[in-house]
Amino acid sequence: MPAHKVCNLASTKKLKGNPNMSNRHSLVRLNRTFAIAVIAACLSPLVQAQAPAAPTPEQQAMRKEMEELNKQPDPAGTGRFAAMKEEVASLPDHVVYRPRDLAAMGSLKLGVVAWGNGGCSEDAASSRFHLLELASHGYLVIANGKILSGPGAPARPQQQPAAQPPAQANGQAAPQLPASRTRAAQLTEAIDWAVKENQRNGSPYFGRIDASQIAVSGFSCGGVQALAVAGDPRIKTMVLQNTGIFNDAAPSAVMSSEMNLGKDALKKIHTPTIYILGGDTDIAYKNGMDDFKRIDHVPVAVANLLGVGHGGSYNKPNGGAAAQTAVSWLQWQLRGDKEAAKMFVGKDCGLCRDSKWKLESKGL
């Protein structure tokens, strides 16, 4: 959802109007990771929002926790290749995560992961721990947006009051579909750029990318963006995290224009796909599980990291357990890694034995 709608939810403390998101999934009961992300969205320098009411003690605590997270340095990741992030002039409105020393990869080619951010926000550093972890395993991860939090982020200016929407004849604000800060098309742009850089003489990526190893991924609204481009024939796998297409029409209270996607989009998936959800306390749980049940034409799995809710493990060291599962899926699906496959297949599979996880699959 767009940042200003997330802020509205933060002030009301409940998700209203969506039959698939019951009041028991109110914002105050979401885990702190997602709540911190809400505060971050509200503070974004690019959000045009009304002056907020005085923050509650809980909101103040979450803001302080977010500030502490932003002070943490970028980790190098646990993979073989210490990772970094950067903005690249030739690819505006994106942030590139990659191994710091490309030469150290030797003959191993980079896989590509195009990433949509939670809330479809333009803070491409909002899941930096997770994305740096992927990059450390030899992936070129390209996130929509710019570096707006953590190391390398610009100072935040004072927020300005937003312009009021046009009024209807009855004096009420006219309903509008809020525009997202990022677009699903940016995922396609990221793939296009990577393929061209692989072929461009003088590029640091010249000959270093395997164009047969391309994935799309995303968190929450960013996962819906990934689903919107699922028909791209270059995509070899999808990793959809804490997300799912709304079972019914998405209510305007939680909806961004990027979430205006129907279940028919699932038919465009043509590659093995995994949903990584946060258990039944994840506000995307019902939608993601419904997607899983409907997909019957490609191999598909859903892995629930029990009890973490919608915020997943993004702010845990190196992206936590969900990042490790995403890495294993990528290694298996893009590189044919048989050891990584053991996380998902066989009666004694890694996730099957781990009490923190519940794995379901079809056709693997």
What pLDDT is recorded for position 103? 97
The single residue listed with the structure tokens 């819906």 is: 224
Strands 110-116 and 83-86: unpaired
What pLDDT is recorded for position 131? 98
194: in domain: yes
158: in domain: no
Gyration radius of the chain over CA positions? 20
165: in domain: no
What pLDDT is recorded for position 237? 98
Asked if residue 314 lies in contact with residue 127, where contact means CB atoms within 8 angstroms, the answer is yes
Distance CA 15, CA 24 (A): 9
| 298: its two tokens | 């490609």
34: in domain: yes
299: in domain: yes
What pLDDT is recorded for position 248? 81
What pLDDT is recorded for position 52? 53
308 DSSP 8-state letter: -
160: in domain: no
Distance CA 93, CA 16 (A): 32
Phi, psi angle pair for 302, to nearest 5°: -130, 125
163: in domain: no
What pLDDT is recorded for position 31? 53
What pLDDT is recorded for position 178? 56
**CATH number of the domain enclosing 209:** 3.40.50.1820
Question: Which helix (DSSP H) or strand (DSSP E) does residue 91 occupy?
Answer: none
Asked if residue 66 lies in contact with residue 32, where contact means CB atoms within 8 angstroms, the answer is no
Number of separate domains in the chain? 1
291: in domain: yes
Closest CA to 134 of 107, 106, 114, 108: 114
What pLDDT is recorded for position 10? 38
What pLDDT is recorded for position 255? 52
| 28: its two tokens | 């105050």
Domain that holds residue 306: 3-151+170-362
Strands 139-144 and 110-116: parallel
Residues of the chain with pLDDT under 50: 1-30, 38-39, 41-51, 159-177
Phi, psi angle pair for 258, to nearest 5°: -75, -15
| 19: its two tokens | 């039959």
